[in-house]
Structure 1
Amino acid sequence: MRGQLREAAATFADGPDALESILLGLVDDVDRAAGEPLEIFPVCHHSPASAIAMARRLRQKQPKVVYLELCEDMAPLLTELRNCRLPVAVQAFATDVDGFPPEWSPLSVVAPVTEASAEYQAIAYALDTPGVELVLVDRSSDHVFQWDARRSQSDDPAADAGEPDTSAADEEAALHGDAVGVEIGDLRPRFAELEEHLLRHGKVRHWSEWWHQYVELPLGDGDHDTYRQVMFLIGSLFRRLAPGDPHRVRVDEDRERYMWTRMREHLAATGTDPADCLYVCGAFHAASRVEEFGVHGTDTYRISPRTATTWQYGLIPSSHAAIEAQFGLAAGSVSIAATVWAKNVKRTRVEPYRLEGQAGQTGTKKTKAQKGKAQKTAPATAPAPATPAPASDKLTGFLRQPPVLDRLDETELLGWSVEIVRAARRNGYLASTADAIAVFETSILLAGMRDRAKPTPYDFQDAAVTCIEKDTVPGRRDVRRLVEIMMGGDRIGKVGYDALPPLARDVHDRLAPLNLKLQQRGVQRALLDIASRPELQQCSDVLWILRYLMPHGTARPIMGERTLGERPIQESWDVALGTHQRALIELGYEGVSIEQVLEQRLRRTAYDPQATAATVLKAVEDATLYLRSRRLADELGTRALEVLSAERSVDGAPEVLRRVRRLLAYYRTSEPVLPPWIESFVKTGYAHYCTLLPTAFTDDDATVRQVSAMLGFLFSMESLALSLGCDRTQLELAVAQSHPRDPSKTALLWAAQQQLGHLSRTDLRARCDELLANPMVLPAYPRYLSGFVQALEPVPGLTDFVVEAVSNAFARLPDTVLLPWLPTLITTLRSGGAELAPLLIREAGRIFPGRLPALDAWVPPWQAQPEPEAVPSAAGADGDRRSALLVAHPATCDAVADLLGCDGTWATEDSHHPAGAALAGRHPDTAVALEALLTGA
């Protein structure tokens, strides 16, 4: 082969030196890898040919030690694979990072495992064969991120790491989340021009189809030496023609140094003969040129220590679509690989390895007698020599042999054609028997046009799309998706109960009274009659916490709600815990119970540097609502007080007002006394908002709703704040110092002054009349009305006045001003005052007549002239009684007179009218109130 390649280099280039370094280097790489005393088994991820060759070689060689290219820290978790249904992914997860940038958190690394993969065959063999040791030799999960491309500001991922391809992902492609994927044998050209050349000349659309046609099928029947040399050659070719990215080359070489260093350390520690070992790695790393390569390589590489990050490990469900999306494979390629795997197992009669008790396997379990018979009849393998002879040249014959013209499997193709027509009919297509015949013939035609001996699943897929789909898709799935489903579909794995973390098992145990199949995918309905079955209260608590922690749809309430101070009677839930199993497992990495996880998250939210008083109050409410923890609520409430004192903006004032009101109402009805933190919060908030009020009125960034919420806090909490020692003068001074320029804020200030008694209702009405009478201010009048509407939050007693002002606006504003303002009023109420609209509606219903005939004679209350009140005479009975009362208590009368600003002296006996009677006549309401006060005393 060396001579043939040298002749080819001289023929296709200007001289033998142009390609000699590449073409002859390929042969050198193959010789080097094949001659290594520790047998190297190159694989490609999710390749049925690699899995078949692996199963065949394991039964022939029976190695005592299997070195596997997988993160070394994932080894303890592999035994749990027998409690799962494949495909699943081994995951390393870290939330509290130490040694990495905080924005990377959470860190996640996944390694998907399918049955049609060589790594699963090696794992199953090592775990179920007595005396065999499985050693993972690849970099740890911590080193994956230590060597991450982000450290060198590069956009390229590591050698076997890939980011999710969201363009090819469907609803199941998110099973891995945003984890970094690690697989054995990411064998794909890194030279874009090379991949394009292969696809164009191979007459295929994507890389998965090229691999299936030109590598997968020819290697399916090859012997062990042929398989190894071909895989060595492909790995060396792709490596030598890869772009010279320094970071990527360094990561590749560091991984190879890491793995060979670990293997030599294990050989030295255990004294194992390399001939009894098998090294399973990706073909890309098999023909390595680093100095540490091989059993006799140098020991110059020093492995860096791990960071202080604490890693958690577990198994999460995976799927074919998730694997395809994460590693950039064509949609349906993993499903087709699973179909080819099952077909190859049946055709070659190779007995694959399966973990004992593996869930979801199609193979039958063997009896002890059958196992013993198989062991007796198994061919004995001769021990490999210490220095193996060079392998014979199998590459020349393999590369020169013509393609094998397999006989067309008409039965299989006909079955596919009939099945796809049946599936198309179920999904709304007008398919018939003629379409099945057309698909059959078109598949053969396409295979011939592409120089293929027989139609592949990809040819059949193209033929089905051409003959059935035509130009419309009547249903949710197109024909291409139907073919993928027919070929095996998006098989989704499941992690068994015994392999779940303690938190997930605890959730399943606590929801057991619901009698649901919680590990089953899909939505299940749960009915909770808590009144008749009080034990279901615990299930309700778990479901509400899951709704808070888990993704949307995991637990969705259909009937029932959880509010402060209320106890549930009946609830109805849609539960999809099996569909979101990955999220539940990842919760187990954060704690041993969902209550602990919720408490940690609430604390993390409250103590975040960007936390606001509103977000901390929300955490307080959630702690009370879901955990019923007075201790945690008090701690977070104290934190809310600290955050409020440090705030210098009023952005969160509406949320603060809403949550403080709700918490106050809850504590007043459920606790004998208010918690100290909320008393301090009200006292501090009163002084805080009084200080910020003048600035907020003039600040353009502060909205009317935010200023209204500040006033709402001050007025609604005033009685409590004053009882705690606050001074009302501070509020009066803040209002007096406020000088807004915006019309809406000006109206809000007028409402505040009216609430404080500095502005009467008559003066407020007069100001509105002046605005309507001024043509220069008329266009801005709707903004004044918007301010009055927002004023209902702090001063709900102005509801009737706002109805009056809006009615006057409708009556007097011209259409050119009124009509453009109406949409603004509606959107303002909907976005910022939805809770205020019911107040206006109820008041309008009370004022306006309920029937149409009464409208003609109806006079608005604010336009009706009240009858003048008669001044009570001192000569009357009431006057005499009030006069006597005032004379009997002169000190009280003097105090009231000073308060009202009345000057005068007590009349003598010669006076015709006593001064007390005159005072009572001028202020009858005060006299009546004083009488009631004294009488009650």
Structure 2
Amino acid sequence: MSNPFDALRAQLLGAAESLADGPAALPEILAGIVDDVDHAVREPLEIFPVCHHSPASALAMLRRLREKQPAVIYLELCEDLQPLLTELRNCRLPVALQAFASELDGFPKESAPLSVIAPITEASAEYQAIAYALDTPGVELVLVDRSTDHVFQWQPDLEGHGEATEPEDDLHGDAVGVEIGDLRPRFAELEEHLLHHGRVRHWSEWWDQYVEQPLAGADHDTYRQVMTMVGSLFRRLAPHDTRRYASDEDRERYMWTRIREHLAATGTDPADCLYVCGAFHAASRLPEVGSAPGTPDFAITPRTATTWLYGLIPSSHSAIEAQFGLAPGSVSIAAATWQKQLTRSRLKPFRLDGQQGGRLPAPLPGTGPVTDHLTGYLAGPPALDGLDEEELRGWCVDIVRLARRNGYLASTADAIAVFETSILLAGMRGRVRPTPYDFQDAAVTCIEKDSVPGRRDVRRLCEILLGGDRIGQVGYDALPPLARDVYDRLAPLELNLQQRSIQRALLDLAARPELAACSQLLWMLRYLLPDQAVRPIMGSRKLGERHIQESWDLDLGRHQRTIIELGYEGVTVEQVLEQRLRRDAWDPKATAATALKAVENSMLFLQSPRLTDELGVRAVELLAAERTVDDAPDVLRRIRRLLGHYRATRPVLPSWCERFVREGYAHYCTLLPTAFVDEETGVRQVGAMLGFLFSMESLALSLGCDRTQLEIAVRQSHPEVPAKIALLWAARNQLGDLPLAELRERVDGLLGNPLVVPAFPQYVSGFVQALDPVPRLAPFVVETLSKAFGRLPDPVLLPWLPNLITTLKQQAAELVPVLTREAGRTFPGTLAAIDSWTPPWLARRPSPATPAVRAPAAGPAGAFLAARPATTDAVAELLGCSGEWSAVAPGGAGPAVLLTAFPEPAEAVAALLGA
């Protein structure tokens, strides 16, 4: 019996022989393509080749399903996604089937989380098959592709999976995409050749012009043979030594093994079945491919112990394009083409949203003998549609109207120009009827010109005009329990939370106390979801704060995917939040600051004393194990806030807080000498260490710590950097080892030394940082800054000022109010007072050559202080006026000078005590 493709095979071989300078492999490739088509169409189990999101494939599938009415449909899709298919009834397309795993067993831990998605659109052959099978009694749908677990078992670069990032508006995130019908050249030179000679810009346009449009109205046999031929061509020209090609072959072995297992288990006649797969796989000639008994099976490896979670997430045309490298707008154009072809052919598609596909006609007889449909398709030019002036004119009018709404100065003349340019471009590219791509190019040329007045360019406006970026939505019944619980608990807000727009929620907690539960849930979602999903406008959540009114901007409709993926981690938001806090605190890279942050969040959101204490104990362990002080500022800020809250709300501190203070005191005392000399440790970190030691000193000493340890640590510190030297001087002053008078003398000596003056700003920066550990030095710091501004030369002062401002803003913003308040107390408040103003650090130091003229503090005050000299001695020593009590006279020494120069305080104290 002669083969129906013999004539085509001979014709192609003759053409190959006539190309004397062609490659030697050309005859083999051309003949092999015909053999692949012949082999595929003779398979007893009908193979239906498709291209992903192709309207032509969807139309051919729709016709074939109504004609053949198969009893079993084998679909190229991950077999473990099968239970999700029935949930498509509750969704608005496009959506994506998703498998998700955050806790891995058998895969590298650093690659978590793993995610696989399979997007579904109405203009796709796979959706038509799914809708037909689910809504037709007696029809079985079987997914036969490798499982999600095997997807990652066969992925060689799994370790880098978790590091991939996608744009924020990509609904698929960094998930691995699984598509049916990956039909694109894997030979870069071939794709470049096709685009160049086809006079198109990208692959989507080439496919639409040379395959999609010619096959839109083709009969079943022609469609099937042409798609198999294209798949065979790309398969034979693809590099065979790549991992991807080997993985594709294993997928084909896997799928046919599953098909044969199902046929053997059910006894189904292969003639009543339909196998839907990508055209690339339809042309396979592997020994394991086929439904004939005795075909060798593929050894399928077992799955790992990883627990996979499954669900549906929203998808969109732009997300599908980004996931699979399609041209922007191509999926929207495909959807518009699908609707137009349905109207033209008067076909009713299968749908799962409650609209049945219509009563099926009686099954037709099986297909006849195989005949050659390729020769006629390849020999003649494609039947091009004529110019549809009404359609093109409508596009031109609508794009001008849309452009004017978006700020373009478009007019009727631009609409005429777009119309004529579209026809011109189509003619230059060998087309009778302008395609949407021709129309896009013409609109950009005639309307956009050289500027974009708004945030949308003309190409984006064309995509909106031709269908827009359709975004799907998962229905309430198809959501995981956590997502449904979120919507139920936020129901008192009386907002449509599934609406894809920002909605304002106003919470008057005083008038409606029942909304407090909604407020608590919103704050938890604020912590778990992206910033734009739940955003507070009025109100905050801090320790010890309670607000009576809050307002929120809610955009949960556009962030439905993230809420769904929270459902993969737990049943309630509280459970997920607890797991996140534990994960952060026990992460291998966690620090004491990280654990303290988790402690604070547990107090804010969960009110679980058990969890808070557990996280606090973890913070103590991490602090004791740290060998650096990089996070010292964050640790100090957080432990101060926590201690302040506990002191205000509880009679005693938790045991973990006491342990943290003891461990921190000993820890920072031990590391202080090293931090002072370490070049990699900044001044901010050393200042935070001193802040912890001095501010927690009284509590630490009451808990059994030894102050001698701090004194020894300070004496052992020998910094060389000027800023750290200033910090050390401040610390010695706090410990009483360096009186203020001596500190002032040292600073004056620095200003008087020409060799040190260029480095003086660094000393000032160190004193500013010292305001945290030694806040009583604020007057001295203002004095030092004033001296620096007054005495430093401009070449030193002017370059330093921007650096000082930047440092204060980035590292010590909380110190700026301290300086500002002290400066306000020090400097005059009016402009007129400046002329007569004398700096207090000069007014308080009487010159030895000019004794003070005040009268001695006689009377009751003098007698009172003379009888009790201890307090006056201490104050005098602190101010650098220590000495012996000789006489309470103007020429006296030590405390006598103090009493003589400042009699008012002594009189006031004496009067207060009745002396």
- TM-score normalized by structure 2? 0.91
Contact 1:425 1:431 in 2 (8 A): yes
Partner of 1:896: none
Alpha-carbon distance, 1:774 to partner: 2.0
Change (3 A) 1:812 1:489: same
Q: Which one of the candidate residues 811, 819, 838 is aligned to 1:840?
A: 819
Alpha-carbon distance, 1:456 to partner: 1.3
**Aligned partner letter, 2:559:** H
* 1:518 alignment partner, SS class: coil
Partner Cα distance (2:424, 2:861) in 1: 121
Whether 2:715 is the aligned partner of 1:749: answer: no
**Aligned partner letter, 1:265:** E
Alpha-carbon distance, 1:872 to partner: 7.8
Partner Cα distance (1:293, 1:662) in 2: 68
Change (3 A) 1:392 1:869: farther
Partner of 2:613: 634
**Aligned partner letter, 2:549:** Q
- Written as runs of structure 1 = structure 2, the 5 A alignment for 1:522-601 is 522-601=501-580
Change (3 A) 1:202 1:779: closer
Partner Cα distance (1:277, 1:808) in 2: 93
Partner Cα distance (2:469, 2:163) in 1: 20
- Written as runs of structure 1 = structure 2, the 5 A alignment for 1:130-279 is 130-150=137-157, 172=169, 174-279=170-275
Alpha-carbon distance, 1:821 to partner: 2.2
Q: Which one of the candidate residues 770, 778, 783 is aligned to 2:749?
A: 770
Change (3 A) 1:304 1:13: farther
Change (3 A) 1:814 1:200: closer
What's the CA shift string for 1:441-494, capped at 9, x where partnerless? 222222222221311111222222222222222222222111111110111111
Q: Is 103-112 or 857-866 further displaced after alignment?
A: 857-866
Partner of 2:335: 338
Whether 2:648 is the aligned partner of 1:669: answer: yes
Alpha-carbon distance, 1:39 to partner: 0.8
Partner Cα distance (1:429, 1:923) in 2: 80
Partner of 2:764: 785
Alpha-carbon distance, 1:797 to partner: 0.6
Partner of 1:317: 314
Whether 2:348 is the aligned partner of 1:351: answer: yes
Partner of 2:740: 761
Partner of 2:593: 614
Partner Cα distance (2:175, 2:664) in 1: 44
Alpha-carbon distance, 1:582 to partner: 1.0
Alpha-carbon distance, 1:749 to partner: 1.1
Q: Is 518-527 or 397-406 further displaced after alignment?
A: 397-406
Partner Cα distance (2:619, 2:832) in 1: 56
Partner Cα distance (1:923, 1:328) in 2: 83
- Written as runs of structure 1 = structure 2, the 5 A alignment for 1:877-892 is 878=864
Contact 2:51 2:180 in 1 (8 A): yes
**Aligned partner letter, 2:69:** Q
Partner Cα distance (2:544, 2:387) in 1: 73
Partner of 1:724: 703
Alpha-carbon distance, 1:403 to partner: 2.9
What's the CA shift string for 1:1-46, capped at 9, x where partnerless? 1211121121123699743321111111111110111111111111
Contact 1:747 1:788 in 2 (8 A): yes
Partner Cα distance (1:332, 1:875) in 2: 91
Contact 2:49 2:227 in 1 (8 A): yes
Partner Cα distance (1:192, 1:817) in 2: 61
Partner of 2:717: 738
**Aligned partner letter, 1:861:** P
Partner Cα distance (2:375, 2:895) in 1: 124
Identity of paired residues, percent? Answer: 71
What's the CA shift string for 1:704-738, capped at 9, x where partnerless? 11111111111110111011011111111111111
What's the CA shift string for 1:491-524, capped at 9, x where partnerless? 1111111111111111111111111111111211
What's the CA shift string for 1:44-86, capped at 9, x where partnerless? 1111111011011111111111100000010000111111100
Change (3 A) 1:23 1:639: same
Q: Which one of the candidate residues 66, 75, 85 is aligned to 1:68?
A: 75
Partner Cα distance (1:186, 1:718) in 2: 68
Change (3 A) 1:690 1:875: closer
Alpha-carbon distance, 1:833 to partner: 1.7
Change (3 A) 1:434 1:919: closer
Alpha-carbon distance, 1:246 to partner: 3.2
Partner of 1:83: 90
**Aligned partner letter, 1:381:** L
Alpha-carbon distance, 1:685 to partner: 0.6
What's the CA shift string for 1:634-654, capped at 9, x where partnerless? 111100100111111111111
Partner Cα distance (1:217, 1:261) in 2: 35
Whether 2:111 is the aligned partner of 1:104: answer: yes
Whether 2:364 is the aligned partner of 1:381: answer: yes
Partner of 1:54: 61
Whether 2:26 is the aligned partner of 1:19: answer: yes
Partner of 1:280: 276
Partner Cα distance (2:203, 2:547) in 1: 57
Partner Cα distance (1:117, 1:696) in 2: 64
Partner of 2:480: 501
Partner Cα distance (2:61, 2:195) in 1: 28
Partner Cα distance (1:165, 1:880) in 2: 77
Change (3 A) 1:402 1:849: closer
Contact 2:487 2:497 in 1 (8 A): yes
Partner of 1:32: 39
Q: Which one of the candidate residues 14, 17, 21 is aligned to 1:10?
A: 17
Change (3 A) 1:823 1:687: same
Change (3 A) 1:16 1:720: closer
Contact 2:90 2:353 in 1 (8 A): no
Contact 2:165 2:174 in 1 (8 A): no
Alpha-carbon distance, 1:380 to partner: 3.0
What's the CA shift string for 1:226-248, capped at 9, x where partnerless? 11111111111110111223312
Change (3 A) 1:817 1:351: closer
**Aligned partner letter, 1:330:** A
* 2:506 alignment partner, SS class: strand
Q: Which one of the candidate residues 447, 468, 476 is aligned to 1:468?
A: 447
Partner Cα distance (2:897, 2:795) in 1: 48
Alpha-carbon distance, 1:316 to partner: 0.7
Partner Cα distance (1:165, 1:424) in 2: 33
Whether 2:703 is the aligned partner of 1:706: answer: no
Contact 1:679 1:724 in 2 (8 A): yes
Partner Cα distance (1:703, 1:788) in 2: 14
**Aligned partner letter, 1:65:** V
**Aligned partner letter, 2:295:** T
Partner Cα distance (1:273, 1:5) in 2: 36
Alpha-carbon distance, 1:690 to partner: 0.8
Unaligned 5+ residue runs, structure 1? 358-363, 886-901, 905-917
CA RMSD of aligned residues (A): 2.9
Partner Cα distance (1:804, 1:879) in 2: 31
Q: Is 550-559 or 829-838 further displaced after alignment?
A: 829-838
Partner of 1:909: none
Contact 1:641 1:680 in 2 (8 A): yes
Contact 2:544 2:645 in 1 (8 A): yes
Q: Which one of the candidate residues 788, 812, 815 is aligned to 2:791?
A: 812
What's the CA shift string for 1:338-363, capped at 9, x where partnerless? 11111111111222111142xxxxxx
What's the CA shift string for 1:733-760, capped at 9, x where partnerless? 1111111111111111111111111121
Partner Cα distance (1:458, 1:435) in 2: 18
Whether 2:378 is the aligned partner of 1:399: answer: yes
Partner of 1:116: 123
What's the CA shift string for 1:75-127, capped at 9, x where partnerless? 00011111110001111111111111222211111101000000000000011
Unaligned 5+ residue runs, structure 2? 1-7, 847-851, 871-881, 885-892
